[in-house]
Structure 1
Amino acid sequence: MQGLIDIEPKQYLDFIIQEGKLGQTTLNVFNLTSNKLSFKIKTATPYLFQVKPSIGIIQPNNQVSIVITTTQPLKEDSRLDSKFQINACTLEQDEQDLANFWRSLDASLIQQVQVKSRIKPVEVQQEIITQQLQQSVISETHDNMSQLYQSMNDTQSKEKDEEIQRYQEQIDQLSKQLSDYQLMLKSVKQQEVAVKHHANKFELKQVLIIALISVILGFIFGK
């Protein structure tokens, strides 16, 4: 049965020697299907390793990380050549007891993948440490850049707020000037209307006076 899972790393589970510490590594198992899978990890030397989890479920198109730890601290003369077998099968329905499920499972339905274990050579360990340091520096640089970017954004935001405030003050000032101008224009129009009204009254008085003079002169010359 093929095509259910893929693993990373594919060939070797590398354990790094650290004085007085247990060796540890991680195995990633990927579900390549759109179905729910069950997995089970087996080794011929279970007394040398702790596998967590050794049995479980992988959701569709997802993955699970399995931590494998040595039961004793690794030394310079330690030797690891154990093999791990990763078994996987499709779950047709939810299973409450996976251990019993695997005991009664048809072998033809199982996909099996194997990976070996080994101790990292010293030079490879140094390379890993260097990579870890580089990754730490990159991560720290990224964090610093994020903080700087956030600080710049905050500064730019403050400057924009101040600029908006200045524009708002200018708008308020222009609005006041416009209001004053409208009041002045209204006053001028009112004065203009008053002047025209007085002018019309003055012209009417002139007409009446001229008419009266004409009547008087006509009366005199008529006699």
Structure 2
Amino acid sequence: MRILLVEDDRQLADSLAEALTAQRYVVDRAEDGEVGWQWVQGTTYDLVVMDITLPRLDGIGLCQRLRDQGYSNPILMLTARDTSFDKVMGLDAGADAYMVKPFDLQELLAQIRALLRRGSSTPTPVLRWGDLSLNPSSYEVHYLRTPIHLTPKEFALLEALLRHGRRVLSRATIAESLWTWQEAPSDDTIKTYIKNLRAKLKAAGAPKTFIETVHGLGYRLMDDA
């Protein structure tokens, strides 16, 4: 899932982005409301997390603008203002939830999970390909009965491959889906992740050709998995 974090405090933004990435979210960052607005126009986000006090366009204005334009996915507001009036302003602007700084990180992550569940109309099914199963909700992967322990990026890569099946997953699509615009991985980086994922699948008993390379195009899962 992809989250937009609109926060001008770089130290806090760094910490939040690191924590969210560790939870297997793809995180894009904006340091002011106008940039956040522009990013939502060009990218689909499952959740927007925004501070209220932002340069150029504050969080209240950004939230109102998003709702006025029909943005319906969850919005979580962060603020240092702990008054009923400020909370009412944020919620009236269209925010789904409101957290006051300083907040407990685990509480924030739980709130994000709750908002994402609320924003999803149907439960996420377990993905299967032959003897491989991947549960997007519990972040569990098994080949037959053998659990496979993956890094967040490896998990997201395998999930993308499973969702594409026999359709080729291009390197450009992998980069766009798994990395933020600021990180933009090289082809060699993507090849390394594919190599490591293949090794873990093979160690669990999967064929070494479970992930096929379609030269010049990208990757897909094998026919007879």
TM-score by length of 1: 0.23
Q: Which has the higher contact order (CA 8 A, sep 6+)?
A: 1
Question: Is the strand fraction higher in 1 or 2?
Answer: 1
TM-score by length of 2: 0.23
